[in-house]
Amino acid sequence: MPDQTPPIPAGWVGGFEQSNPDFAYPDPNLTSLDMLGNLDNIDKLQRQQAVLWPEFSWETEPGAADPKRAYQMFAPDISRLGYTDEGRVYSIICPQQGVCSPAIGCLNVEVTVTGQRGWANETDRTLAADMEVTGKIWFSPSAKQKTLYKVFWEIFKHSSHPFPSSKEHAIEVTTFRPGQPDQPIFPLLKGQSKTFPIPDFAKHEDDGAWSVGNLAVEIGPIKPTGDSTVDKFNELVLEVFNLGAGNMLKQGNTLTWNVWFNQPGLVDQEEWAAHAEKWRQSIDADHGSPDGEGTEARYFDGSPFSVVQSLEDQEIKKITSFIKSHL
């Protein structure tokens, strides 16, 4: 059967990678470039690569002898790499997801790119970029049906404490380069991660992937709000969320993505801005993704990730105790 893939658009020039010898592999150094706001230079974008297979991985029991690594593909075509004809990267839209916990309902989990710099090379299908991000978590609409949410809301709406029911009041989680808590900037590099085994179901050469890159980020503490009651509440919500989501955002855990790119295409700057704005307003766990859903989390052998209900019940008791003590 003939290849139905459209040809790569003309116009690739290249050369930005070669403009500074420090940019080269095996250890690209991009510090001569300014960290740029992710939406500040859309008018410079000319070419793009869409991430059709954002493969996410994390340890569900970090620190254990068997950390039970899980693998999950996020919704396709949320993340994109945008660059010029010469290959300078000016915008990166990062993978996002909605995650549901039986105890507290669904929450939106957004990785917001606050700064980026880098290059892409279509000639040899490589890239190197630096990113700075913050994680944001807030309750999605369906959580309002949960008893615990209703209790929280009734208490918070009669107080001066902000409740994480919208992105504006989201729980913010700090991130940094794995093992370097003083370094909030981390790299996006060519190839798949080499720090853990990758199952066949998380590889996409045979699906037509054009190239692949990888990034890893360690989860730090919650960013303080200045309201001690809210800070303690947010920590407790995150603790319950982590139980239901397999310690996904547990402090000290490292999150890793192998991002499998579609072949290069041209950028429609108005469409890019609209796409970025749609996901800046954010994915909603209840509404899903217009480009299709991701996969359920599973272990290397393909068996599904599951939550230990007895531990979750203990966390519900902690929340009940917190309400009685603080609210």
pTM score over 0.85: yes
Residue 314 maps to a domain: yes
Considering the domain boundaries, does residue 6 fall inside one?
Answer: no
The residue range of the domain holding 124 is 17-294+308-326
Q: Examine residue 4 and state whether it is found in any structural domain, yes or no.
A: no
Total number of domains constituting the chain: 1
Residue 12 domain-assigned (yes or no): no
In a domain, 317, yes or no: yes
Q: Which two tokens stand for residue 326?
A: 């603080």
Residue-level pLDDT, tens digit, the chain, 327 residues: 345 567 899 999 999 999 999 999 999 999 999 999 988 999 999 999 999 999 999 999 999 999 999 999 987 877 899 999 999 999 998 766 666 666 677 777 877 888 999 999 999 999 999 999 988 888 877 777 776 777 777 777 777 788 888 888 889 999 999 999 999 999 999 999 999 999 999 999 999 999 999 999 999 999 999 888 889 888 888 887 787 788 888 999 999 999 999 999 999 999 888 876 665 554 554 544 444 467 889 999 999 998 765 555 666 677 777 767 765
SS3 readout for 66-122: CCCEEEEECCCCCCEEEECCCCEEEEEECCCEEEEECCCEEEEEEEEEEEEEEEEEC
Among 67, 53, 56, 55, CA closest to 247? 67
Burial class (CB in 10 A: 0-12, 13-18, 19+), 159: exposed
The answer to whether position 1 is within a domain reads no
Give domain status of residue 7, yes or no: no
Phi and psi based region of residue 292 (left: phi greater than 0; alpha: psi -120 to 50; beta: remaining): left
Do 119 and 125 form a contact (C-beta atoms < 8 A)?
Answer: no
**Residue 194, in any domain of the structure:** yes
In the block, residue with structure tokens 């303690």: 232
